[in-house]
Amino acid sequence: MTTIKNKSDGNKYLARVFLFPLFFILASTLHAQETDWRMFVEQLAEEEESKGNAIENMYQELLYLENNPMNLNSVSRNELERFPLLSLEEINSLVNFLEKNRPIYTVYELRNVPRLDHRKVALILPFFHVGETVKVQEDVSPHSILKTGQHEVQLRFDKTVTPRAGYGEFTDSILERYPNRKYLGEDFYNSVRYSFRYRNKIQLGFTAEKDAGEPLLKAGYPKGYDHYGVHLIVREVGKLKTFVLGDYRLSFGQGLVLNNDFVGSKAWSTDNVSRRTQEPKRHFSTAESGFFRGAAAVTEIDNFSLTTFYSNRRIDANLNNEGEITSFKVDGLHRTPLEMEKRKNTREQVGGANINYREGRFQVGLSALYHRYNRMYNPTFRAYNRYYLRDTANFNAGIDYSYQLPGFIFAGETALARSGAVATINMLQYRPSVNLNLSALHRYYPVSYNALYAQAFSEGNRVQNEHGLYLGAGFQPFQRVSVNSYIDLIRFPWLKSGVDTPSKAVDIYFLSTYTFERGRFLEVRYKYKRKEKNSTDPEMTARLVIPYATSKVRLRYSHEQSNGWGFRSTADMARYSEEHPPSTENHETEFGYMLSQSVSYRGKGPLTGDAYLAWFDADTYNARLYSYERNLLSTFYMPSFYGKGLRLALSAKYQITRGIAFSVKAGYTRYFNRDTIGSGTEQINGNSRLDLFTYLVWKF
């Protein structure tokens, strides 16, 4: 039976939220530090919500670039295009500036680059340095590589202290009947990562990981860790621009054919909605899906570049009784006999190429991809997946383009599937000044377009069954005020999972930031999304599709002080509603609220730390709230909260020596309205949960 909320209760909670700014008043008025790029990635993580692996990949890439900054006097356009914090227009503006003004004498000359505002300059400064005006022939002899190369070892150990059902004691008779009630392995997470780099020429890395519940060196499981990965990247060897062996990620064009690299959310930046072909990047994350394993090479001759790749690896899949693939298992968890049965039970082979031509402001590329499985891919038939791929192989090809005029960017891609379906995405960006940018993007993804390795601008998880128009704007109406907003109008011409008719959606976003002075910001964010779904009302005699909407409001005050202290106070509210027919007399509305406070310390000494405290009260999962919580180095934690409770997290990092750092974190969650947490093997019989995380980094 649906719930009817009292309007006075909603008003009471609204009062709590909007009185919360009184909590923002802080005593200190000291000048603040420059914005750190890590803070930007944290904010991006909050917009991405559940895309933790994608954010981790981006963070690893930026961390590498920070440790290996680009020389403003010799950096090329291709190197800048590997840098994810710059849009296509900003790259073009920077290239033109460097060509006209080299030699550069200080990185602060970036402030003179047209189209780069002061915030963007502060964001990208750590990734550049000023060196020789001409590239020096680097010594790549084995002696030089071993002598001057840099090594890094990362060790991580996590454990949930609170007992969970999957680690309990069971009799042999129970396990014989229900073998998947107990995990096969130990109740801790552990990973080991090693990386080596020699300037910008060579990258080498190794990864080993086990998730909590997976066996480590137990009888019957002699391979040690559950997951291993390795990669080698060599750059600038004759005509061979880049060569990769092992685990890597790729992106062609706008992603209609191939993209397993990072794709930002709609809210990332309205002037960064266009994508571009990327060189192969290492896969150094512990994620066990979403990457290739094999070899890739990029060669460059005059204005042409050619990327070729081949991948051959075993992946996890859910199989039916005939041994056919019904879906892919991407969580990487192998803790029970059932999960072990799905481990690497399918062979995946993928090959393809991209040829790219660039002349001045014009670029065009041709992409092709072919993939094959050793089993039939045959999802369990439902009305909504009538047009899904059902085969052992598929082929996609596409053409992408971009053309730049002063203030304008035109970009897009059109791609073809083996079925003959054609998908297209096209966009226009206009930036008349540094204080104003406008974007328009249209995409047309037919229901019969199948591209399992595509990842492009979309509302859904598949580049399929979606037509949409996105309009975005970023501007500064006043000197201290910036606004970033968009509206996305979407239509799904065929059925979707949980929606038995064609449907539509609208997505609205608004973010305004007021800068009091350096390091002090006030943010107001509003998100609204309206979609449609099947009604679950038992009073309805026939299946009916109804609209539902989620609204989220955030008010945040941030203060970064010059003495190393930082404060962030946040108030969140969510409202979920369903629109039932008047005849049912049901108007379901649910609310969620969260108040949170973060305190950080980044002093000049060896010790840094963070504290996070949040109170939440959300009626149901529909009104859940996400809140980014600063985690250990290179890992991201974005929990969602519903119910009533508190979240407390404390973390610290100690720089033992110049090359050795140790981090520790404790996270505690307590619920006031439940006696159990989770379900199945993850169930906790109690209302609280305690997690411990440790991280050791050794650089030499």
> pLDDT tens for residues 574-586?
999 998 876 666 6
**CA angle (312, 314, 320) in 5-degree steps:** 130
Structure tokens belonging to residue 465: 């069954």
pLDDT at 542: 64
Q: How far is 276 from 255, CA to CA, in rounded Å? A: 8
Q: How far is 619 from 67, CA to CA, in rounded Å? A: 45
pLDDT at 274: 77
CA distances 530 to 67, 606, 641, Å, are 43, 48, 21
According to DSSP, the β-strands at 128-129 and 70-71 are: parallel
Q: How far is 55 from 470, CA to CA, in rounded Å? A: 23
pLDDT at 438: 93
Q: How far is 23 from 559, CA to CA, in rounded Å? A: 13
**Backbone phi and psi for residue 150, each to the nearest 5 degrees, phi listed first:** -115, 135
Closest CA to 647 of 655, 656, 638: 638
Beta strands in 238-303 (DSSP E): 240-251, 278-282, 292-301
Higher pLDDT, residue 657 or 51 = 657
Q: Which residue has the tokens 């599709």?
A: 545
Cβ of 657: how many Cβ atoms within 10 Å?
10
299-328 pLDDT tens trace: 999 899 999 999 999 999 999 999 999 999
Q: Report whether 448 contacts 435 (CB < 8 A).
A: no
**Residue type for 687, please?**
N
Beta bridge partners of 359: 362
Q: How far is 20 from 557, CA to CA, in rounded Å? A: 11
Q: What is the 3-state secondary structure (H, E, C) of 110-161?
A: HHHCCCCCHHHHHHHHHHEECCCCCCCCCCCCHHHHHHHCEEEEEEEEEEEC
107: Cα separation from own chain's centroid: 29
Q: Which residues contact 691 (CB under 8 A, 6 or more apart)?
A: 158, 159, 160, 161, 666, 667, 668
pLDDT at 535: 85
87-145 pLDDT tens trace: 888 888 899 999 999 899 999 999 999 888 888 898 899 999 998 766 656 667 787 88
Q: Report whether 629 contacts 599 (CB < 8 A).
A: no
Burial 477-503 (b: 16+ CB within 10 A, else e): eeeeebbbbbbbebebebbbeebbeeb
Q: What is the 3-state secondary structure (H, E, C) of 219-260?
A: CCECCCCCEEEEEEEEEEECCEEEEEEEEEEEECCCCCCCEC
Question: What mean pLDDT do residues 539-561 have?
Answer: 87
Q: Which residue has the tokens 């859940």?
A: 624
Q: State percent of the chain over pLDDT 90.
A: 64
Beta bridge partners of 649: 612, 667
Beta bridge partners of 271: none
Average model confidence (pLDDT) across the chain? 88
Question: What mean pLDDT do residues 288-301 have?
Answer: 95
Q: How far is 548 from 397, CA to CA, in rounded Å? A: 37
Is the model's pLDDT at 23 over the cut of 70?
no
Cβ of 545: how many Cβ atoms within 10 Å?
15
Tell me 181's DSSP state: G
Structure tokens belonging to residue 71: 């020389």
**Backbone phi and psi for residue 114, each to the nearest 5 degrees, phi listed first:** -60, 150
Q: Report whether 431 contacts 438 (CB < 8 A).
A: yes
**Backbone phi and psi for residue 435, each to the nearest 5 degrees, phi listed first:** -100, 5
pLDDT at 445: 98
Q: How far is 412 from 423, CA to CA, in rounded Å? A: 11
Q: How far is 252 from 73, CA to CA, in rounded Å? A: 28
pLDDT at 292: 97
pTM for this predicted structure: 0.88
Helix (H, G, I), strand (E, B) or coil at 271: coil
Q: Which residues contact 78 (CB under 8 A, 6 or more apart)?
A: 241, 279, 300, 305
**Residue type for 576, please?**
Y
Cβ of 189: how many Cβ atoms within 10 Å?
19
Closest CA to 433 of 273, 271, 263, 560: 271
pLDDT at 530: 96
Q: How far is 691 from 237, CA to CA, in rounded Å? A: 47
Number of residues assigned to the chain: 700
pLDDT band per the 50, 70, 90 thresholds, residue 554: very high
435-482 pLDDT tens trace: 899 999 999 999 999 999 999 999 988 999 999 999 999 999 988 899
21 upstream amide cis, omega within 30 of 0: no
Delimit the domains of the chain by residue range: 31-137
354-381 pLDDT tens trace: 999 999 889 999 999 999 999 999 999 9
Q: How far is 309 from 516, CA to CA, in rounded Å? A: 50
Q: Which residues contact 399 (CB under 8 A, 6 or more apart)?
A: 253, 364, 365, 366, 367, 413, 414, 415
Structure tokens belonging to residue 149: 């190369």
pLDDT at 269: 67
Structure tokens belonging to residue 532: 């449609």
161-197 pLDDT tens trace: 999 999 999 999 999 999 999 999 999 999 999 999 9
pLDDT at 569: 95
Q: How far is 96 from 501, CA to CA, in rounded Å? A: 51
